[in-house]
Structure 1
Amino acid sequence: MRYSAFISYNHRDRGWAAWLHRELERYRLPKALIGRDSPIGPLGRRLPPVFQDREELAASTNLAGSVKSALEQADSLIVVCSSNGAKSHWVNEEVREFTRLGRRDRIQCLIVSEADTPEGPPRPANEIFPPALLQFGAEPLAADARKSGDGKRAAFLKLVAGVIGVRYDELRQRDHARRQKQLLTLAAAASLGFLLMSGLAVFAFISRADAVRERDLARQKTITAQRTTDFVKGLFQVSDPSESKGQSITALEVLDRGAREIQGQLNNEPDVKAELISTLSEVYMGLGSYHRADDLIRRSLSLNVSRQETRARQLGVLAASRTLQADYDGAVATYSRALQLLPHPEELQDSSLYSGLLVGKGEALSGLERDKEALPLIGKALLWDKQHDGERSPSVARDYESAGLVTQYAGNLAASRSNYDKALAIRLATHGKLHPKVSEDLNNLGTAAYLQKDPAAAERYWRQALAINEQIVGPEHPDIAIQLNNLARVLLEQRKFAQAQGLLSRSAKIYLAQRNDTHDDLAFVFSNLALAKAGLGQRKQAGELFERALKAAEIHNNRLIAPIMTDLADLRCAQGDYPKASDLLERAGPLMKSQYPEDDWRSAWVTNTKGACLLRQKRKAEAEPLLRSSTPIVLQRWPVQSMYGYKAKERLSGVAR
């Protein structure tokens, strides 16, 4: 087949069709699926082309030849379903034609919202599905991209699963695992490395703007530098209390003002204007406003700059934006263009620009799982920065941090920890303990230690990071709740239930002050707090918390559903409610297997809990084989002194009594 899919849509739903086409064309299949046989042949890194760009046909009784040909060469038909599509003559004809070709089982539906119609109660099937889809009686299964349905990401993955012929749960799990691998380190630090207080963001902007001004003064001593100074001074005048009249001015408000004002200034100094816009874009990214950063830097590329160094800096910022949007191919290409503009890096006024581009390209390559290409670039940047800035410079620390990130993605956790350790030593010496990068490095060290199954080290690093972050953003900041939960989890796994309970109670309190109790993050917090309560013998409170955690997990279809059911079943069994425990375990088993296909110990834990419950009922003959088969699998993952290892060993010892 020439096409993996044909997208059928009404012209009023063109925006949805364009979004779906773009996502399908750029989606990279998880590494574990490459080479697997599928309806479209052995799977490669990307899907074969997707047909979308047909214009609305003139009214006639037959489909145009080109559309018929495309349908014949498409393995799947994806129908964009809405009231527009249901009324479309040509969408209906395309469904009929694809059915005539004998491939009705390869038709998938995507239900979408309509720009001029707010989401409301579910509509009847005949209002959203073309008649040809309903003529066989049953309402077709569909992915629902609306907020009230699956949401865009889940709906998209359902369609991909149908195209390549794998179970949705398997694709979701593998896609999630890949994204987790890429984002684990960044996620641990994002809560405090990017969302800084306004003062820190403003300080970062002023520092960079001052650096631009000072560099230009030293090099050119022209009026350009004075104009830069005037712009920066005018930008922050709004922070004067007499002007703001007591109102708090956020960093984003200052940046938005700067982004507006820079458009009408410095038109005769395009290089300075480009430098300042690059700075504004970088600060936007630092505050998590990725779309604003991307729009600003893209528009600045129309400036007629005279210096290749300035253009390379612009492209570097654009490439960083693409990396943050997970467009790793685009980022690699843009970083390559920027590096081509610097044929003689020794002549640069800012030597760190060259190494920054090398590091950025390396991280983007790592996002594509091309770690063997990424590490030499980062090594080259490290050598460059040591030669030009010294062994203990911030740029060298940055290079070590990037090396730590890439080696962690590659699975070399020992090298990752070593790199982060070196970066941390430099950050402490140059920036002091309260710098966000210090906290970020500690978080990353904790993550690497946790993945190495070194809970004591993970606890130590995360405690240090938490103490620093509480000073930076305050003890009640929402991001502190995330760190409290993560630290408590590693304490739970070490059976330090009392310590974990205190941290989790704080975490829940912070969450509940700003979110409702069915927020998906609270599934983690409530279930962990329930484990702590159960470990301390507080069964009634533990049961209530497990029920709240399960409710939040089920509302959001969270992966924790099966683990929570298993832990709740263990508690109900201990309370003598054997029917409830049995029901929970029967439901948890298949879910655990589908949601955690690569974690054998999780399914073994369901079996182990079932055996323990049978043992409590004096049904030793049934319990013994379950416990003897599952305990070794659990102990392969968890040491005997851990929460799971200790419990599995204790349950098995009950067989001998």
Structure 2
Amino acid sequence: MREVALVSPRSVAGTSRRERPSVTPRYWAFLSYSHKDSETADWLHGALEKFAVPRSLVGNDSPHGPIPARFSPIFRDRQELAAASDLGHTIREALAASRCLIVLCSPDAARSRWTNEEIIAFKKAHPSGCVLAAIVDGEPFASELPGHEGEECFPPALRQKFDSRGRPTGKRAEPIAADLRPTGDGRQLGLLKIIAGMLGVGLDDLVQREQQRRHKRLTTIAAASLTGMVLTSGLAVFAFEKRDEARDQRREAEGLVGFMLGDLRQKLEPIGRLDALDAVGSRALAYFAKQDKSELSDAALAQRSKALTMMGEIAQTRGDLEGARARYAEAMSGTAEMVRRSPDDPERLFEHAQNVFWIGEIARERGQLDQAEAAAREYKNLSYRMTSIDPASVRYRMETQYSDAELGIVYLAKRRFPEASRQFKAAVATIERVAAAEPNNREYQLNFSKSLAWLADAQWSEGKLDEAIAQREREVDLLTRLSKRGRDVEYLEQMIIAHQALGRLFASRGESKEALEHLNAAVSVAENLIPSEPDNMRWVEYAASSKLALANTLLAYGSKEEAGVQARAGCDMVSRLLARSTQVTYWQEVNRDCLAVRAELALAANATDEAASLAGQLLRSTQAVGKGPSLDDRYKLAAAQRLVGDVADRQGDRARALQAWQAGLATLPKNVTERPRELGERVELLKRVGRNAEARAIEARLAAMGFRRSI
């Protein structure tokens, strides 16, 4: 959790009286912000000036003078400066006469010339002054990540150190800010962090004093209520009735959440009934929405966060990634508050880690891999904190296994294949022992299956085809045994993925019988799942990708008619997915698979005009993502350009075909470790432009690995 810190080289506590500005301070703070963040500025300005400093602190000395009862006045520039050429005398005078500078940080603020100028002017007037940052939107130092520059929230002057004379040094500053967003500290805790920085006191000390003041206020209210009850018995009866009503509502809501997260979830999840869970969860959250989060008991706060997390999982299953992210972020705000209250409670760390994990998963599904890696590392840190507090807990040790696997998944997405394999091998070794010790533990058995799957994918990416096939066969055998215990949709979901992956692996090895057997099995399992809950978009996604993989393999082996049947069915399912959302990265990828196989089928039928239209759609769709830094996307773009060239060649336009193939080769990255399938794409393009010697050399490498086809 972030702590408020100063941007300047010295901390507030270390500022001596000699270093205070010579101008007599008239303002407790200068509020600097982009006028697009006016709503937050309105709230913060009012909250600071209304805040009553705890009596025990009033009059004490601080780095900025005697502590007042109220922070008033706070200077806030309410005028637009767009037409001005300079900050102006009034602003500079106010900056010089302010004890602290508070900067509302957002992408708009980072781009604002005047916000940056105000920071510079304050630092020149107060070289060791109190500069406090408060994040409203965006991400700190995003400007250092290619492709994320627009998300930067810190203005340039906030990101570098200034010397004792108020001159920029060019050295990187690392300000730690209060995070006012619901996914960070939230407004209430963020406000306290800012105030703690202004007072020069520790956050915990200020929070404790706030709690003491709240308790005194409640005691006073209680005393007044007792007096009133003595004077008016009717009011007492009314108060008791209301108290009992509120207590009954709280018990009902907490009981619903407990039932939902316990018995009901265990009964409904295996049969895939999300609608019932959704209805119960909505009812419970309707109660919690009326409550002040800061006033909730520890138990109620935990229940609320658990309910939000589960509702996020339901939304994610239905393809509503934005709704899922919002639920997880709200849940994470609650679990962060729980950790703040008891930082050494491993169970609270556990609950918070679940939301951190899901936020990272959403980022990974959207292709935001840097954010996904950051979340995976935070999740891993939380898991190791749990085990350091309670090393005897198998449950917490499992969290370390999950976090290691999650980091491996991100490494795989970022093409760091050897690192991913090492992570997954360690994960498999751990979970295999645990699963063997507890064969009836459903969660452990599923995790064992998924760990085998990820290890197989990493080994396939390294070119270790036989090892990858062996791991996938182990997975299928495990899932087959588990499925015999009774219908469980998660076993079946994993079975679809495992069969599809095995089919692709056998196809790569040129073994058509085994390839088609597993791909047909994947389609069969998916088709049997969908009727039980047609609204489950995850099952539709699995069925669509399985059918398209089967169609592609059938076409490669010459079964054009059957390939067409599977392709049409798969593309119809893709249309259903995109009707639900166009924001899911993987659904867009499956749609491109649909366009590719349809174009190949049209080309095989010599319908060149249709093939050209479909190949053009594929190229445009792929170009939309292929211009980014993702190497995966560049290979997909090269494949689309190859297909465009193939169609042009069939139409007799050799010049245009060569142009497309050369463009495909130019798209391929250089000096990178390539997956076998990517090497196969390079071979196909080299052959088409007549560079046969280079193509044969790569084919020899693939043959040595056991690859016979580039499917």
TM superposition score category, shorter chain reference: 0.5 to 0.7
Q: Per the alignment, do residues 488 and 254 of structure 1 end up closer, same or farther by CA in structure 2, a change over 3 Å counting? A: farther
Report the equivalent of 2:522.
Answer: 465
Deviations 1:286-345 (CA, angstroms, capped at 9, x unpaired):
542144124214414545789957435424524533552521110111111222343443
Question: Residue 445 of structure 2 is aligned with which of 367, 381, 397?
Answer: 397
Question: In 1, distance between residues paired with 2:601 and 2:446?
Answer: 38
Report the equivalent of 2:386.
Answer: 338
Q: Per the alignment, do residues 295 and 488 of structure 1 end up closer, same or farther by CA in structure 2, a change over 3 Å counting? A: same
* CA drift at 1:360: 1.8
* CA drift at 1:608: 1.5
* CA drift at 1:534: 2.4
Question: Structure 1 vs Structure 2: percent identity of aligned residues?
Answer: 11
Deviations 1:261-304 (CA, angstroms, capped at 9, x unpaired):
24679999744763574355145235421441242144145457
Q: Per the alignment, do residues 339 and 82 of structure 1 end up closer, same or farther by CA in structure 2, a change over 3 Å counting? A: closer
Does 2:31 match 1:12?
A: no
Report the equivalent of 2:601.
Answer: 532
Does 2:683 match 1:604?
A: yes
In structure 1, the gaps of 5 or more residues are: 1-9, 16-55, 65-79, 95-113, 116-143, 146-151, 161-223, 237-247, 346-350, 612-625, 646-657
Report the equivalent of 2:312.
Answer: 284
Contact 1:392 1:426 in 2 (8 A): no
Question: One-letter code of the match for 1:332?
Answer: K
Question: In 1, distance between residues paired with 2:448 and 2:664?
Answer: 43
Q: Per the alignment, do residues 524 and 414 of structure 1 end up closer, same or farther by CA in structure 2, a change over 3 Å counting? A: closer
* Alignment map for 1:167-566 (pairs within 5 Å): 229=255, 252=278, 254-262=280-288, 270-271=298-299, 274=302, 277-278=305-306, 280-285=308-313, 287-288=315-316, 289-300=324-335, 302-303=337-338, 310-311=347-348, 313-321=350-358, 323-324=360-361, 325=363, 326=372, 327-345=375-393, 353-354=395-396, 356-366=398-408, 367=410, 369=419, 372=422, 375-376=425-426, 379-387=429-437, 389=438, 391-408=439-456, 410-411=458-459, 413-414=468-469, 416-432=471-487, 435-447=489-501, 450-451=504-505, 453-454=508-509, 456=512, 457=514, 459-474=516-531, 479=541, 480-512=543-575, 515=578, 521-557=590-626, 559=634, 560-566=636-642
Report the equivalent of 1:197.
Answer: none
Question: In 2, distance between residues paired with 1:305 and 1:384?
Answer: 30
* CA drift at 1:428: 0.5
Question: Residue 568 of structure 1 is aligned with which of 635, 639, 644?
Answer: 644
Q: TM-score, normalised by structure 1?
A: 0.52
Report the equivalent of 1:132.
Answer: none
Name the SS of the counterpart of 1:576 in structure 2: coil
- How many aligned positions are there? 431
Greater Cα offset, 284-293 or 84-93:
84-93
Q: Per the alignment, do residues 229 and 156 of structure 1 end up closer, same or farther by CA in structure 2, a change over 3 Å counting? A: closer
Report the equivalent of 2:148.
Answer: 156
* CA drift at 1:440: 1.6
Question: In 1, distance between residues paired with 2:304 and 2:349?
Answer: 14
Q: Per the alignment, do residues 231 and 322 of structure 1 end up closer, same or farther by CA in structure 2, a change over 3 Å counting? A: closer
Q: Per the alignment, do residues 355 and 233 of structure 1 end up closer, same or farther by CA in structure 2, a change over 3 Å counting? A: closer
In structure 2, the gaps of 5 or more residues are: 1-31, 38-76, 93-105, 121-136, 153-249, 263-273, 317-323, 364-371, 412-418, 460-466, 583-587, 627-632
Deviations 1:604-657 (CA, angstroms, capped at 9, x unpaired):
32232234xxxxxxxxxxxxxx44553453465489997769xxxxxxxxxxxx
Report the equivalent of 1:241.
Answer: none
Name the SS of the counterpart of 1:484 in structure 2: helix
Name the SS of the counterpart of 1:417 in structure 2: helix
* CA drift at 1:571: 3.1
* CA drift at 1:370: 6.5
Contact 1:278 1:297 in 2 (8 A): no
In angstroms, what is the RMSD of aligned CA positions? Answer: 5.3
Contact 1:407 1:415 in 2 (8 A): no
Q: Per the alignment, do residues 465 and 423 of structure 1 end up closer, same or farther by CA in structure 2, a change over 3 Å counting? A: same
Radius of gyration: which is bigger? 2
* CA drift at 1:256: 3.8
Question: In 1, distance between residues paired with 2:503 and 2:703?
Answer: 15
Contact 2:452 2:475 in 1 (8 A): yes
* CA drift at 1:507: 2.7
Question: In 1, distance between residues paired with 2:669 and 2:404?
Answer: 36
Question: One-letter code of the match for 1:523?
Answer: R
Contact 2:107 2:150 in 1 (8 A): no
Question: One-letter code of the match for 2:620?
Answer: K
Name the SS of the counterpart of 1:430 in structure 2: coil
Deviations 1:495-546 (CA, angstroms, capped at 9, x unpaired):
4433322222223334346759x96654331222111232344444333322
Question: In 2, distance between residues paired with 1:635 and 1:312?
Answer: 52
Q: Per the alignment, do residues 503 and 234 of structure 1 end up closer, same or farther by CA in structure 2, a change over 3 Å counting? A: closer
Contact 2:664 2:685 in 1 (8 A): yes
Q: Per the alignment, do residues 590 and 379 of structure 1 end up closer, same or farther by CA in structure 2, a change over 3 Å counting? A: closer
Question: In 2, distance between residues paired with 1:82 and 1:554?
Answer: 29
Q: Higher relative contact order by CA 8 Å / sep ≥ 6: 1 or 2?
A: 2
Question: One-letter code of the match for 1:633?
Answer: I
Question: In 2, distance between residues paired with 1:472 and 1:256?
Answer: 26
Question: In 1, distance between residues paired with 2:620 and 2:87?
Answer: 51
Question: One-letter code of the match for 2:649?
Answer: C
Contact 2:500 2:549 in 1 (8 A): no
Contact 2:567 2:597 in 1 (8 A): yes
Question: In 2, distance between residues paired with 1:593 and 1:605?
Answer: 15
Name the SS of the counterpart of 2:390 in structure 1: coil
* CA drift at 1:81: 9.6
Question: One-letter code of the match for 2:383?
Answer: Y
Contact 2:325 2:359 in 1 (8 A): no
Question: In 2, distance between residues paired with 1:459 and 1:576?
Answer: 34
* CA drift at 1:363: 1.7
Question: Residue 633 of structure 1 is aligned with which of 668, 684, 698?
Answer: 698
Question: In 2, distance between residues paired with 1:363 and 1:254?
Answer: 32
Q: Per the alignment, do residues 485 and 402 of structure 1 end up closer, same or farther by CA in structure 2, a change over 3 Å counting? A: closer
Name the SS of the counterpart of 1:335 in structure 2: helix
Question: One-letter code of the match for 1:425?
Answer: T
* CA drift at 1:153: 9.1
